[in-house]
Copies of this chain bind each other. A is one copy, B any other.
Amino acid sequence: MANTSAASYPMIGGDGPYSYAHNSSFQRTAVESAQALINEGISENLDVKQLIFSSPSSPNSFSIADLGCSVGLNTLIAVQNIIESVKFKCLADDLCSEAVEFQVFFNDHVSNDFNTLFKSLPCDGQYFAAAVPGSFHGRLFPKASLHFAHSSYSLQWLSRVPKELLDKESPAWNKGRIFYIGAPSEVFEAYSDQFAKDMESFLNSRAQELVNGGLMALIIPCYPVGIPPSQCPMIVIIALLEATLMDMVNMGLVSEDKVDSFNLPKYYPTPQELRSLIDRYGCFSIKKMKPLVRNRGPVNESKIQDPILPLRTALEGPIKRHFGSKIIDELFDRYKKKFLESPIFSQVNKNQVQEMFVLLKHRVA
Contacts and interface: CB of A to CB of B under 8 A. Distances in A.
Contacts of A131: 114, 118, 130-133
A58 B61 contact: no
A128 B139 contact: yes
14 contacts: A55-B56, A56-B56, A57-B57, A59-B144, A60-B143, A61-B142, A101-B143, A103-B145, A111-B119, A128-B132, A128-B141, A129-B132, A129-B133, A131-B133
A61 B114 contact: no
B58 A56 contact: no
Interface in A107-147: 110-111, 113-115, 118-119, 121, 123, 125-134, 139-145
A114 B118 contact: yes
A144 B101 CA distance: 11
How many copies, total?
A: 2
Is the interface on chain A under 10, 10 to 19, 20 to 34, or 35 or more residues?
35 or more
B143 A121 contact: no
Nearest to A55: B57
A133 B118 CA distance: 7
Contacts of A126: 1
A264 to B, nearest CB: 26
Given A2-B125, A58-B142, 17 more contacts: A1-B125, A1-B128, A56-B56, A58-B58, A58-B144, A58-B145, A59-B143, A103-B145, A105-B130, A113-B115, A114-B114, A114-B131, A118-B131, A128-B132, A128-B139, A128-B142, A131-B133
A345 to B, nearest CB: 36
Contacts of A211: 57
A80 interface: no
Q: Which 4 A-B pairs give the minimum distances between C-beta atoms?
A: A61-B142, A101-B142, A118-B133, A55-B57
A173 B129 CA distance: 38
A128 B56 CA distance: 23
